[in-house]
Structure 1
Amino acid sequence: MDNELNLLNKIGLTDAEAKVYLTLSQNGSLTGYEASKIANVPRSKIYNILQSLIDKGFALYTQYESNNKYVAVPMSEVSNKIKMEMSNNLGQLEESFSIFPLRTNMDNIWHIKNYD
């Protein structure tokens, strides 16, 4: 599980968000209380963490009968969304930077091998 937590951190989740996302992924729909208990995250923080996961596209909120439940978005969907957003952002950056000439003047760069 440490590997998954580390990878989720690398794509932008905090440690707590990663723990809660894995908890939702492994346990299906849960209430905030259940997610807090299983993920070992303080109840005072769980709803902010769940809202952050919703905002980032990693979780969904549903109301079933009188219970509010949270469910993980499948990683394949999250991955596709992240890839599309990254591709769009990189495309926009390439387009924006294409109007600037690339300056490669290296006359003022010195390479010092030894310091005596």
Structure 2
Amino acid sequence: MLQKFGYSQYESQVYEALVSSEESLDATAIVRASQVPKAKIYEVLDKLIEKGVVLNTLSGKKKFYSAVSLDVIIKKLSLEFEEDIRDLQSYKIKKVSQDDHVWTLKDEATIIATIDELIQDASHSILLSAWNTTLEHYRPLLEEKEREGISVEILTIGDLRTTLENTSTLHPMEHHEKLEPSQLVIVDEQSLLFAGIENETWKAIKTNSQPLVKVFTDFFYHDVALTYITKKYQEQLLEDETIMRLLTRLRY
């Protein structure tokens, strides 16, 4: 129950046993109800008391324990979380010189938050390629950056309603074999992040390596060019089986 919030498995088991009980329990009863080893029970109870999660009292020569209500715990965790966020917001980051390492990222939420940060920090240019459903998340920030005078160019896979001036739209063909979700952002011709799905999990690389930035910039404009060519000459291209086969194998 409480493991997601930094509590140990034993602490979670003891709290759950106490909060589920209609009456206070002594250590022996807690061992039976929680399945926590007898040798560990007093250590775990002391930690929970210190954390303000468990109450204790002395009745005769025996100690009894009771859980703080779940509603109070939820408020306690919320307050602690808000305080931790404030601490993070006030933390002063020491800027270090950028390197050319290629860093790997996992977890979709982390990747999206990192792209948000890259876009927010852009000072003169943003290139971004992604599927329309993903771009919808970035759209308000991109439009804001364009209003600030930042050059924004996007390639969207599927239609996207936006005020952005430099928008290229690819409409996938029915038999696109290699077309799959990906995200590419290049900021200020200095930083890039490329993300794709591997084994049903989002993974990404992030780097300031200039050779890679240049390669992925070419990659972006290669896709934009192919999008316009495919759109303008689609009827002629569809008639050529060799070109059609090659186009439908492109990843974009």
Q: Normalised by the size of structure 1, how large is the TM-score?
A: 0.75
Distance 1:97 1:79 in 2: 30
In terms of fraction of residues, the more strand-rich structure is 2
Secondary structure of the equivalent of 2:20? Answer: helix
Gaps of 5+ in 2: 96-116, 123-186, 191-207, 220-252
Q: How far does the alpha carbon of each residue in 1:65-86 deviate from its partner, in whole angstroms, 9 at most, with x for none?
A: 2210111011111111121122
Q: Percent identity?
A: 26
Partner of 1:83: 78
Q: How many residues align?
A: 106
The structure, 1 or 2, with the larger RCO (C-alpha pairs under 8 Å, 6+ apart) is 1
Distance 1:10 1:32 in 2: 25
Instruction: Please list every run of at least 4 consecutive aligned residues from structure 1 whose deviation after the TM superposition is greater than 6 angstroms.
Output: none
In terms of fraction of residues, the more helix-rich structure is 1
Gaps of 5+ in 1: none
Secondary structure of the equivalent of 1:13? Answer: coil
Partner of 2:172: none
Distance 2:62 2:45 in 1: 15
Distance 1:98 1:42 in 2: 44
Q: How far does the alpha carbon of each residue in 1:19-38 deviate from its partner, in whole angstroms, 9 at most, with x for none?
A: 11111111231111110122
Distance 1:49 1:98 in 2: 36
Name the Cα RMSD after superposition. Answer: 2.8
Which of 50, 53, 61 in structure 2 is aligned with 1:66?
61
Which one has the largest radius of gyration?
A: 2
Partner of 1:31: 26
Distance 2:93 2:8 in 1: 34
Distance 2:93 2:40 in 1: 44
